[in-house]
Amino acid sequence: NDGYKLWLDYQPIQDPELKTQVKNLLDGVFFYGENDTYQVIKKELELASENMLDQSPIYSQERLGNSKLWIGTRDQLSQVLSLTQQGEIRELGADGYWRGPLVFEGKTYYAIIGNNPVGTLYGVFNWLNSIQTKTFNSSSIISDSPKVKVRMLNHWDNLDRTVERGYAGASIWDWHRLPGYVDPRYIDYARANASLGINAVSLTNVNANALILTTDFMKKVKVLADLFRPYGIKVFLTARFSAPIQIGGLKTADPLDPEVIKFWKEKTVEMYSFIPDFGGFLVKANSEGQPGPHEYGRNHAEGANMLADALAPHGGLLIWRAFVYSHEVDEDRHKQANLEFEPLDGKFRDNVIIQVKNGAIDFQPREPFHPLFGAVNHTQLGMEFQITQEYLGQATQLVFLAPMWEEVLKSKTFQPSQSSTVASVVETPINENHKTLIAGVSNIGTDRNWTGHLFGQANWYAFGKLAWDPELDSKAITDEWIKLTFGNSSELASKIETMMLESHEAAVDYMTPLGLHHIMGRSHHYGPGPWVTGGRADWTSLYYHRADSLGIGFDRTSSGSDALAQYAPEIAQEWSDPNQIPEKFLLWFHHLPWDFKLKNGMTLWDGIANHYDLGVKKAREMQQTWASLKGEIDPERFHHVEQLLAIQVEEAEWWRNACLLYFQSINHLPFPDNIEKPEGDLEYYKSLRFPNAPGI
Ligand code: BDP
| pLDDT, tens only, 148-158 | 999 999 999 99
Q: Is the CB of 367 under 6 A from ligand 1?
A: no
166/134 same-domain check? no
CA of 311 to the centre of ligand 1 (A): 26
236/189 same-domain check? yes
In a 3-state reduction of DSSP, which class is residue 546? coil
Q: Of the residues 167, 241, 283, 323, which should be mutated to test ligand 1's pocket, given the most ligand atoms within 8 Å of the CB? A: 323
% of the chain at pLDDT higher than 90: 97
- Would residue 318 count as lying in a domain? yes
- Would residue 497 count as lying in a domain? no
Which atom of ligand 1 sits closest to the CA of residue 290? 13
130/278 same-domain check? no
CA-to-CA distance for 62 and 60, rounded, in angstroms? 6
Strands (E), 177-295: 200-202, 234-238, 280-283
440/522 same-domain check? no
Residue 430, domain CATH: 3.20.20.80
Q: Could you report the predicted ipTM of this complex, rounded to two decimals?
A: 0.99
99/154 same-domain check? no
Residue 563 phi/psi, 5-degree rounding, is: -60, -25
Q: How many domains does the chain have?
A: 3
Cα 563 from chain centroid? 26
pLDDT band at 692 (very low <50, low <70, confident <90, very high): confident
CA of 192 to the centre of ligand 1 (A): 26
Give Rg (Cα) of the chain: 26
- Would residue 679 count as lying in a domain? yes
CA torsion sign, 354 to 450 to 45 to 37? positive
257/388 same-domain check? yes
368/265 same-domain check? yes
Contact 354, 381 (CB under 8 A): yes
Average pLDDT, the chain: 97
Residues 6+ apart with CB under 8 A from 379: 341, 344, 345, 346, 347, 348, 352, 354, 430
233/375 same-domain check? yes
| pLDDT, tens only, 346-380 | 999 999 999 999 999 999 999 999 999 999 999 99
Residue 530, domain CATH: 3.90.1330.10
Q: Which of 103, 124, 144 is the last residue of a domain?
A: 144
423/527 same-domain check? no
422/512 same-domain check? no
Amino acid at 96: G
CA-to-CA distance for 254 and 258, rounded, in angstroms? 9
- Would residue 326 count as lying in a domain? yes
- Would residue 5 count as lying in a domain? no
Amino acid at 335: K
- Would residue 538 count as lying in a domain? yes
- Would residue 576 count as lying in a domain? no
| pLDDT, tens only, 410-431 | 999 999 999 999 999 999 999 9
128/174 same-domain check? no
CA-to-CA distance for 259 and 685, rounded, in angstroms? 55
Looking at the predicted structure, is the pLDDT value of residue 64 above 90?
no
Measured at the alpha carbon of residue 264, what is the angle toward residues 263 and 267, in degrees to the nearest 5?
A: 85
- Would residue 584 count as lying in a domain? no
Residue 680 is predicted with a pLDDT of 86
Q: Of the residues 163, 165, 391, 441, which should be mutated to test ligand 1's pocket, given the most ligand atoms within 8 Å of the CB? A: 165
158/140 same-domain check? no
Strands (E), 407-504: 437-441
Q: Which of 94, 121, 144 is the last residue of a domain?
A: 144
Give the Å distances, CA to CA, from 169 to 384, 385, 393, 504.
23, 21, 16, 24
Q: Is the CB of 526 under 6 A from ligand 1?
A: no
Q: Which of 115, 144, 173 is the last residue of a domain?
A: 144
Q: Which of 392, 310, 393 is nearest to 351 (CA)?
A: 310
CA-to-CA distance for 76 and 89, rounded, in angstroms? 13
Q: What is residue 493's DSSP assignment?
A: H
Q: Which of 254, 257, 240 is nearest to 296 (CA)?
A: 254
Residue 70, domain CATH: 3.30.379.10
Q: Is the CB of 260 under 6 A from ligand 1?
A: no
| pLDDT, tens only, 324-338 | 998 888 899 999 999
112 Ramachandran zone, left/alpha/beta (phi>0; psi -120 to 50): beta
CA of 288 to the centre of ligand 1 (A): 8
Q: Print the domain residue range for 98.
A: 16-144
Residue 696 is predicted with a pLDDT of 57
